[in-house]
């Protein structure tokens, strides 16, 4: 049994048998699918960020000029709240797809 240090240096699955369904074409299809999902989620995240309004109430809040209207109290239900939630969701998806892509790239380098 190899140690982890030698296994990482030489590839993890060099002498282990892979299942028959895990062919080179299957791994390539997974990588292409993950890359497409990564690009789409990153593009949607950028669009969500660009559609958000700028936060210019920073200095007004320091001097006590903050306005608490009905609209500002219910931001979670407005378009601004939806865009904020979508930005968080698509940023998590982008990070997840990136990690999965590079894990498949590292594990199946010999494939």
CA distances from 32 to 9, 19, 61, 96 (A): 25, 20, 48, 15
Predicted pLDDT at 73: 59
Q: If the chain, 111 residues long, is cut into consecutive pieces of 10 residues, what is the mean pLDDT of each piece?
A: 50 58 80 95 95 69 59 67 92 95 78 45
So what's the pLDDT on residue 34? Answer: 94
What is the pLDDT at residue 72?
58
The pLDDT value given to residue 26: 82
Helix (H) or strand (E) holding 104: helix 79-107
Residue spans per domain, the chain? 23-50+74-111
Contact predicate 81/75, CB 8 Å: yes
Three-state DSSP class for residue 60: helix
């Amino acid at each position: 049994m190899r140690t982890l240090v030698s296994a990482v240096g030489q590839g993890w699955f060099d002498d282990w048998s892979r299942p028959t369904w895990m062919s080179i074409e299957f791994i390539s299809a997974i990588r292409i699918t993950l890359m497409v999902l990564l690009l789409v989620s990153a593009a949607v995240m950028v669009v969500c960020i660009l559609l958000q309004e700028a936060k210019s109430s920073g200095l007004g809040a320091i001097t006590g000029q903050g306005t608490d209207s009905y609209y500002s109290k219910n931001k979670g239900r407005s378009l601004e709240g939806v865009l904020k939630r979508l930005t968080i969701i698509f940023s998590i998806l982008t990070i997840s797809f990136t990690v999965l892509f590079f894990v498949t790239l590292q594990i199946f380098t010999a494939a």
